[in-house]
Every structure is written in C-alpha cells, then in structure tokens.
Amino acid sequence: MFIEKLINEYSNNGYKKLSEEYDYIEEELTNRCSKGTISSYIQAMASIVLADSLIGKYFFDTDLESSINMGLNILEELPKEEETSDVERAYQLICSWLIQNELKFDRHNINYKYNEEEERREDFETMTKRAEGDTTEKYGLYEKGYFYVLPNKFNELMEQNQLSPLAVKKQLAELGYIQTQKDKNRTYYEILKYYNGGRRRMLAFKLEIDDMLPEEEIEKLDEEEILYKNVGNEKTDI
C-alpha cells in the first residue's frame, strides 16, 4: 500500500518532486543541526526523515516538521567531527601501544578437571612463558585476536595523552573496536575475563598480531606447564 501511494503521488514527473523534498530536508537538517555534525550523517538522516515523513503523511496524519525534529534529535546524539578525530587518534595510539608492549601481555589457557570425590569441576590456569622481553609488569593478556587490557593501564595511557578514558571507551564501543557487556540498563565498556586466578573487568580490544608466537608453540608451552604442575618441580621434556 505504501509503494502504491508513493507511485501515485510522485511518478508522474519522474519523482522530481520527491527529490526536491529530500533536498529541502537535507538543507533544513544542515542549517539547524549543531556545528561539527558530520555531513555523511546528515545525508543519511535526510533519507530517514523523508521516509518517516511519508509514512506519517499516509498513515498517521503527522507533518514533516515532526520528522525533521526526530532527525535533529538523533543527529545530536551522534559523534561530532572533533570527537571522531579524537577517537581515531586514540585508536591509532592504542594500536601502536599494544604492538610496542606485546610481550607484557600474557597468553593463557583455562583448563578443567573433574574432582570425583567432591563432585565438582576445578578450573586452573596455565600461563605461557616468554623467552625474552620484560614481562614483570603485566598489562593484561592476548587471546584469539583480542588484547584484554587492565583498566588502570588503559587509563594511564589515555591520561598521558590528554584524552578522557571514559569518552574514548564509549566512542571505541560505538565504532566496534572494543567489546561491551550489558547488565539491565547499564553498559560496561570492560568485560569480565578470567585472568591471573580470578574474574576481573578488562578492556577487550580486537587486534590481530601476525608476529606473535604460533599456536603450536603456545600449545607446546601450555603442555609443558601442565606436566610441570603434575610431575613436580622438575620439568619433563615432551
């Protein structure tokens, strides 16, 4: 029914009138939105406003102004040009920092065994050992394409570069650079992760590192660690 109404009203002049309505909406949004609103956002919103106004006219008896106001409200919630510049700068900064400090991120596996006497599962953690590099100060862990960063280390990096940790985390999440977790009406920008003997909140940043240890080497290190735990203080060759 909507398409039929659209064709009946606009097709007789090659949809020129529809195009003119779009241009008018785009101009109104441009003139009335906040300074720094990204032009591509305005163009996309003009299409949404046009569709909303047509639906309102055909089915709900609402006017164009209400649709424009809806579009302006949405645009106000989107990042502005200066905010986008900040988050892109922060993204490049974090990527460089992660690569430079790769050896300060553990790799680990969580292993499970079943305690038959107590009828419960026991979890234990094995950490891979790095042959070289300073690993005395831990920044978090790397696992399957994700760096899990301790919040205090992330905050230090942001503050050293005059960036707001909370604002950057929010913008990184909006762009899909970090994982989030939701609990009722609250969004957490750090996810719960099993690390160093317990669960803690960590920033999950996706970044593949090609030159880290191959998986077969990591598995071998993990197997050696398990044997070491099971046999005693003398490590057994495998």
pLDDT band of residue 206 (cuts 50, 70, 90) is: confident
Q: Which residue has the higher pLDDT, 186 or 72?
A: 72
pLDDT band of residue 132 (cuts 50, 70, 90) is: low
What is the distance between the alpha carbons of residues 164 and 131, in angstroms, rounded to a whole number?
Answer: 36
Q: Which residue has the higher pLDDT, 55 or 213?
A: 55
What is the distance between the alpha carbons of residues 134 and 105, in angstroms, rounded to a whole number?
Answer: 10
pLDDT given at position 1 = 77
pLDDT given at position 67 = 94
Average pLDDT over residues 85-107: 84
pLDDT band of residue 205 (cuts 50, 70, 90) is: very high
What is the distance between the alpha carbons of residues 60 and 69, in angstroms, rounded to a whole number?
Answer: 16
pTM: 0.48
What is the distance between the alpha carbons of residues 88 and 193, in angstroms, rounded to a whole number?
Answer: 26
CA dihedral for 84, 89, 90, 92, sign (positive or negative) = positive
pLDDT band of residue 29 (cuts 50, 70, 90) is: very high
- Indicate the average pLDDT of the chain: 79
In DSSP terms, 143 is beta-bridged to 146
Per residue in 139-198, pLDDT (tens digit) is: 998 888 899 999 999 999 999 888 889 889 988 998 888 999 888 788 889 999 888 778
Most confident of 14-18, 79-83, 109-113: 14-18
What is the distance between the alpha carbons of residues 234 and 143, in angstroms, rounded to a whole number?
Answer: 28
User: Of 72, 66, 29, 71, which is closest to residue 49 (Cα–Cα)?
Assistant: 71
Residue 218 has pLDDT above 70, yes or no: no
